[in-house]
Every structure is written in structure tokens, then in C-alpha cells.
Amino acid sequence: MVIEGNNEIFEKEVLNYEGKVLVDFNATWCGPCRMLKPVLDQVAANGKKIVAIDVDNDRDIAIKYNISSIPCLILFENGKEVKRSVGLIPINEIESLFEE
């Protein structure tokens, strides 16, 4: 299950999390973001931790991480950004973000 995030959830589930978590920066009006959602649901169902951040509702997080295009996926490990991907990508590329 993809966790719908906000400032409090982002701090708890991403910044203070020990391990890998993928953050999906998106917006409800974004077509590619809507296309990516079921793919992210599938990745999460396979045991990967994913937090979704709506850039319109949580602008401060988006600004902090310089999100200028969406969808934007950022992989965090132990609270630090380690990988980034912008745009619609297939499931195998999303899963490969979690690999070393």
C-alpha cells in the first residue's frame, strides 16, 4: 500500500526511517502521475515502502527537494536522498531504484 503523505508523515516515514523508501511527488491534475499510481501500488504490494506527496498540498516539501517536474520519484535511504527519476517510467525501472 502506498502511504499518502504530509509533513508529519514525511518526517516519520521518510526522514526518520531506517531503510529504503521511495517518495512519489505527484499532483491530482497530472496525467502521467495518475498513470503511475497503479504501478506504484503494485510495487508497494510487492513489499517496497512508498510514500506519495501531493506537491499542491505539501509545497514546502516539494520546494525543499527542488521538485520542478512531476511525477518525480526520489529514493531515500536512512533519511537521505540516494536516487531520483523524473517522468513516467515502467515498473522494472521503479523496482531497480531499490537495488544497489
Task: Say how many domains are in the chain.
Answer: 1
Residue whose C-alpha is closest to residue 24's, from 60, 49, 47: 49
The CATH number that applies at residue 49 is 3.40.30.10
Give φ, ψ of 50 to 5 degrees: -135, 135
Grid cell in block for residue 9: 508523515
Cα–Cα dist 5/56, whole Å: 12
**Is 72 a catalytic site residue?**
no
| Structural domain span for residue 78 | 3-97
Catalytic residue, chosen from 14, 22, 33, 36, is: 33
pTM for this entry: 0.95
**Is 33 a catalytic site residue?**
yes
pLDDT recorded at residue 77:
97
pLDDT digits (tens), the chain, 100 positions: 899 999 999 999 999 999 999 999 999 999 999 999 999 999 999 999 999 999 999 999 999 999 999 999 999 999 999 999 999 999 999 999 998 7
